A and B are shown apart, each in its own frame.
Chain A
Amino acid sequence: QLQLQESGPGLVKPSETLSLTCTVSGGSIGSSSNYWGWIRQPPGKGLEWIGSIYYSGTTYYNPSLKSRVTISVDTSKNQLSLRLNSVTAADTAVYYCARVGRSGWTDYFEYWGQGTLVTVSS
């Protein structure tokens, strides 16, 4: 059974960089059939797609975050990473990593981590 676990600082200061790691167990992050994503949810609000990374290394980012976000994969550690620069209070959210499942022609977020709350505050 695939499991994902987010980790990282729970508190980040404004203007600094938010860095999170997602450790994958029960499967290989580098498999050619896998790709991955990050999603966030501000307290009391809905889900926002941050971006996705394919096994090839190709990335796609939410246009509203594109200038500040980097998603990468470390196959040696079986980890997915998220970096978000120049954070403000508006970046306070629960951050989820997820594996994208595929059935024929369509994709979806199939496995999710439990999420980690990141608060931006001085």
Chain B
Amino acid sequence: DIQMTQSPSSLSASVGDRVTITCRASQSIRSYLNWYQQKPGKAPKLLIYAASSLQSGVPSRFSGSGSGTDFTLTISSLQPEDIATYYCQQSYSTLWTFGQGTKVEIK
């Protein structure tokens, strides 16, 4: 199985801050990496697919980068509505796996 490791597990930042979340794969997954946002009590929502492609309707302050084993999700200017847990997920293998999640809070 391909293991996905996110860091940090949680973070606290101020409104307007730039926030970066890292996801590392246990082997190369090329650019088969997706990011999801999950707010409390809600289903996850797709933010980024193919490592850097912004899903339709997602604010442009969200961006993704990386390839191979190392990936990042960046929120350029944190907003109160961005409070959520973020998950990476690989679709390189037919056996998909998620990272353990990164909880983002407002300082």
Q: Which residues of A contact B (CB under 8 A)?
A: 37, 39, 46-49, 52, 60, 62-63, 96, 101, 103-110, 112-115
Contact = CB atoms under 8 A, between A and B. Distances in A.
A114 B42 CA distance: 7
A60 B1 CA distance: 13
A47 B44 contact: yes
Contacts, number: 64
A52 B36 CA distance: 18
Chain A interface, >50% SS class: strand
B1 A47 contact: no
Contact of B46 (A49, A104, A108): A108
B95 A109 contact: no
B98 interface: yes
A20 to B, nearest CB: 15
B71 interface: no
Given A47-B87, A63-B1, A109 B100 contact: no
24 contacts: A46-B87, A46-B98, A47-B44, A47-B89, A47-B101, A49-B95, A49-B96, A49-B97, A49-B98, A52-B96, A60-B95, A63-B95, A96-B44, A103-B53, A105-B50, A106-B49, A106-B91, A107-B91, A109-B46, A110-B55, A112-B43, A112-B44, A112-B45, A114-B43
Chain B interface, >50% SS class: loop
Contacts of A60: 94-95
A40 to B, nearest CB: 11
Contacts of A46: 87, 98-101
